[in-house]
Amino acid sequence: MLRVKQTNKFEGTVRVPGDKSISHRAVMFGALANGTTEIEGFLPGADCLSTIACFRSMGIEIEQQEDRVTVRGKGWYGLQEPVSRLDVGNSGTTIRLMSGILATQPFHAVMEGDESIAKRPMRRVVAPLRQMGAKIDGRREGEFTPLSIRGGELQGIAYTSPVASAQVKSAILLAGLQAKGETTVTEPHLSRDHTERMLQAFGVRVERDGCTVKVQGGQELQARSIQVPGDISSAAFLIAAVMVVPGSSLLIENVGINPTRTGIIDVVQQMGGKLELLNERVVNEEPVADLLVTHSELKGIEIAGDLIPRLIDEIPVIAVMATQASGRTVIRDAEELKVKETDRIATVVGQLRKFGATVTPTEDGMIIEGKTALSGATIDSMGDHRIGMAMAIAGLAASGETVIENDEAIAVSFPGFASLLEQISH
Ligand code: SPQ
């Protein structure tokens, strides 16, 4: 159980753990590459540890000590058939990206995860991979886990995805790397592009044109060292903490500012929050900066369209900030929230109402009225790391004490979250 109380202010210089999306990909691509990949700044969160465990089960030697990882890749076809089911834990990224990789392998593998994974839609990757020639089965005709994959020879496809999803795009591109001919993926809005950038870092040719990405089959990956920047999705909770606690100011160092992920920065600035990017640089094809964040009075705004994939994981904590902003905040075009670790429209609305917030769910988002005085509440993370952390931030803005039950979920993406907050609270 995590207990949260109002604090005078947050102050100091901090770093957040490594980027989750980049950490997963560094392990996966390292395992498939020829040679040894050294990773620094790896996120030792439960999700990325699930990815490591899956590759170890397929015979890849991986040493991990906190944020340092060595992956001894054996080339694309160096994986061995796993003797038991691969456990992806709570990680949607692991199961969806691995579906693309396993679709190319000359063996049979079964993947499953926790209760939340069992409810998340898989047909979005299963259908295009079947079109490429993979044999995949699962509950409800491949919509749900366990997924059983018998890989083999694939044919490249031109796929237009109905959703802007980096997991869908990545699964198809990874399968495409070993398919015959060319594979293209077009999405309605650009989703995060870490796969494209990191494949290039591993020596793969990737062509991009707007929302379309193309790869040619038959490409190998070459090992290389990877430095993972801090996760902007984790930094978002600290940014929000500064915005809801008057007098606060933080320098958050070494944060990834890939433009496909920086919707949170745009939104905070549009709401009137003071947030400056300092010391901008590029590390392993990924832009990085230090974020100087200063408490400001916020105002409500509209969030929709292209912006949504650029901040999809930050919507729970944006909703918390919106309760402390003057006026109305409207979030639209975010129906994808319904298929995350929980239905994040329903959970955000349900949990924020316990604090006394005025929030209305809509078909594709929510409407938040501000500025509302919140009162401390007992909250259930519902096993969703982002809900646990967002509600802890709401607790900082609330009078009295807030208790977050099932707070162990937070370690999925932000181990040390509670102690970091304590360290910077004055
Ligand atoms: O890995 P998982 O469980 O899907 O994690 C989440 C999260 O909140 O951490 C989503 F629930 O992030 C996804 C993100 O929403 C991570 C991700 C990636 O690394 O490719 C892409 C996004 O999902 P999607 O479905 O839009 O591709």
Cβ contact 353:319 at 8 Å: no
Q: How far is the centre of ligand 1, averaged over its atoms, from the C-alpha of 192 (Å)?
A: 10
pLDDT of residue 69: 98
Q: What's the whole-number average pLDDT of the chain? A: 98
Measured CA to CA, the distance from residue 234 to residue 17 in angstroms comes to 7
Over residues 238-264, the pLDDT tens digits come to 999 999 999 999 999 999 999 999 999
pLDDT of residue 34: 98
Evaluate the CA torsion angle 328, 414, 167, 191 in order and state its sign.
Answer: positive
Measured CA to CA, the distance from residue 90 to residue 87 in angstroms comes to 9
pLDDT of residue 172: 98
Closest listed residue to residue 74, CA positions, set 39, 109, 29, 42: 29
Domains 2-18+229-424 and 20-213 share a fold: yes
pLDDT of residue 294: 98
Closest atom of ligand 1 relative to the 313 alpha carbon: 8
Return the structure tokens found at 231: 């996760």
pLDDT of residue 90: 97
Taking the domains of the chain in order of start, what are their residue ranges?
A: 2-18+229-424, 20-213
Closest atom of ligand 1 relative to the 191 alpha carbon: 26
Alpha helices in 284-379 (DSSP H): 315-323, 344-354
Return the structure tokens found at 129: 């991979």
Catalytic residues: 313
- DSSP code per residue over 64-115: EETTEEEEEEE-GGG----SS-EE-TT-HHHHHHHHHHHTTSSSEEEEE--T
Measured CA to CA, the distance from residue 394 to residue 58 in angstroms comes to 42
Q: Which of 168, 340, 345 to mutate to test ligand 1, by most ligand atoms within 8 A of the CB atom?
A: 340
Q: How far is the centre of ligand 1, averaged over its atoms, from the C-alpha of 231 (Å)?
A: 13
Cβ contact 93:47 at 8 Å: yes
CA 121 remoteness from chain centre: 16
Domain topology for 2-18+229-424: UDP-n-acetylglucosamine1-carboxyvinyl-transferase; Chain (3.65.10)
Q: Is 312 in the pocket of ligand 1 (CB under 6 A)?
A: yes
Q: Which residues of the chain have pLDDT under 50?
A: none
The CATH H-level (homologous superfamily) assignment of domain 20-213 is Enolpyruvate transferase domain (3.65.10.10)
Query: Residues 302-305: contacts with CB within 8 Å, 24+ apart?
Result: 302/329, 302/330, 302/332, 303/267, 303/329, 303/330, 303/331, 303/332, 303/334, 303/365, 304/330, 304/331, 304/332, 304/333, 304/334, 304/365, 305/189, 305/332, 305/333
Over residues 105-146, the pLDDT tens digits come to 999 999 999 999 999 999 999 999 999 999 999 999 999 999
End-to-end CA distance of the chain: 22
Q: Which of 117, 170, 313, 414 to mutate to test ligand 1, by most ligand atoms within 8 A of the CB atom?
A: 313
pLDDT of residue 351: 98
Name the residue with tokens 């929709």.
304
